Chains A and B, each alone.
Chain A
């Protein structure tokens, strides 16, 4: 028996319970609702939630238990019956409690709070689940492959017949090189745009420009990748790399970095704009009142005051750049290489995770398991950057509140 019927049953009972409890509360009050400790609709809400929430939790509990016990068939008949029984019990008990003195509002708020706690627990558990799934497979990988070779070998040459070189260094180098180039493009442009928008633009210009810049953030990264592949890559090759003798590859670190930089501009500009706006007007007044110009005020008072927040914005953009895959595949290619030439094709950790897991996957050889070790390393790096960003942003907030 599927769970559709109990779900419909819960929904119907819950909605019906709302109206029944409300009218019971009204009749208990005898026309004068001021006698009630809680309003009729609060009694209704309490009944609706008392019916739905425990039953929904029961469904979740069953799904989880079935997974743990590796139970693969449809649920036995007693499961939907038990769930409907729980719903009915909640319904009957809460209807019976409707009275003039019952504080239904407090009870309903208790249910809502449990709902909110449930939502946040799910988010946390998911993160924990992700970490553990990576961790187990990584441990598996390191039992088959020496960790010294993984972290310190400068050669990446996977071979599905075994005997591969799986050094992370060329991939980390590619990741960092591309991210740094992306930030070199994105940070000044984004920051200057933010200064213009928050300090110089009129309210009307701002209301037009800000959404336009934020459109950049809405473009799927695969579209950026296509842009890198057909436009930026050939352009850089024909006008910079070939004439200067740096090489003749259209896929290059520079291509991916440039396009990724464009993608990051709205991150930097939007966050910095908000932070610059949060600098108290009194500081600007104080500086202008001393006879400094608008630009002196921005350089010497506003930007230093906003600096911690701006650093936070840049670090968030950096962790975004490190995790980016699509732009790299299409813009920088898939060749793992340790090289200084920015017009050479290189690749990143994320791209190699994808390529190790596509095709022949039996999750037993070090060649596939290495993807999890790569993923975990990346996760640790971006987590560290995020924690650093949050720490800096928080310190900044304490300054003005």
Chain B
């Protein structure tokens, strides 16, 4: 296998990934090296496979019966599709934020405390309180909810719910944070808040974000990969992709001619 610790600090190394949904060949031979403490954006038209590929990184595709993944993905050099790897443990290490805010029908506190409780990250109530406060602060939500931690999480606004989901993902102290179009259900103000948050999260995690919006990719990411019809067409520095793409398909997509 390829050496993953080349020049830069590679966190996730994916090589020759193919994904099939039943008969459909959704991802065709994709290889990508994702750096640590970096925001990497996946862009491309609907149905191009960017979300599918994202879901390979924490093996969420395992929960779909008809999905089949081949190829090799390593995080810190460890093969995550190795039969000895427990996908449940993996998902504790690779957090995920979904397209639609999906707070559990529990209180705000219990939403954030859910992961730490399951993984036994706290020894007592005081430690758990501390984790919840810290995570909500990192989710830029603490000031807004500190007086109503025991009210239901479903009662928050859409943008607050999504930040709650981010805080919930952060609370389990993952190493990688996957975000599947986290702003597509939010208004511009909430989007700006979440984007600001993503930039801060970069200090601690490797963030991979799937987005429909090219402006968003340009604003938040350092590296960008362009997907088209199941292929990864181009992967480079974000600035280069948006100013001087090499592939004509990337050029037509970012200039609005396809997609």
Chain A interface (Cβ < 8 Å from any Cβ of B): 202-203, 280, 282-293, 296, 300-301, 304-305, 399
Contacts and interface: CB of A to CB of B under 8 A. Distances in A.
A292 B89 CA distance: 8
Contacts, number: 69
Interface string B85-99: 000111111011010
A285 B62 CA distance: 11
A291 B88 contact: yes
Nearest to A290: B115
B188 interface: no
Nearest to A300: B114
Contact of B102 (A286, A304, A399): A286
Of the listed residues A291, A292, A304, the one surrounded by the most CB atoms of chain B closer than 10 A to its CB is A291
Nearest to A307: B105
What 7 pairs between A and B have smallest CB-CB spacing? A291-B92, A289-B96, A291-B91, A282-B102, A286-B102, A290-B115, A292-B118
Contact of B98 (A203, A282, A301, A399): A282
Contact of B118 (A203, A289, A290, A304): A290
Interface stretch (B20-28, B164-172, B243-251): B164-172
Contacts of B100: 282
Of the listed residues B65, B90, B103, B118, the one surrounded by the most CB atoms of chain A closer than 10 A to its CB is B118
B221 to A, nearest CB: 21
Mostly, the A contact residues are helix
Contacts of B114: 287, 290, 292, 300
Contacts of B98: 282, 285-286, 289
Contacts of A300: 114, 118
B154 interface: yes
Interface in B13-37: none
Contact of A291 (B104, B105, B106, B115): B115
Given A283-B102, A289-B91, A292-B114, 7 more contacts: A284-B63, A285-B102, A286-B103, A289-B96, A290-B115, A290-B172, A292-B118
Given A282-B100, A296-B118, A290 B105 contact: no
Contacts of B58: 289
26 contacts: A202-B65, A203-B65, A280-B102, A282-B98, A283-B102, A283-B104, A285-B63, A286-B98, A286-B103, A286-B104, A286-B165, A287-B114, A289-B169, A290-B114, A290-B118, A290-B172, A291-B89, A291-B91, A291-B92, A291-B118, A291-B119, A292-B114, A292-B118, A293-B88, A296-B118, A304-B105
A305 B119 CA distance: 21
B69 interface: no
A301 B103 CA distance: 10
A292 B102 CA distance: 15
A399 B93 contact: no
Nearest to B63: A288
Contacts of A286: 98, 102-104, 165, 168
B116 to A, nearest CB: 10
Given A288-B60, A289-B96, A291-B119, A301 B104 contact: yes
Contact of A292 (B95, B103, B115): B115
A399 B154 contact: yes
Given A300-B114, A301-B104, A291 B172 contact: yes
B102 A290 contact: no
Contacts of A305: 104-105
Interface string B194-231: 00000000000000000000000000000000000000
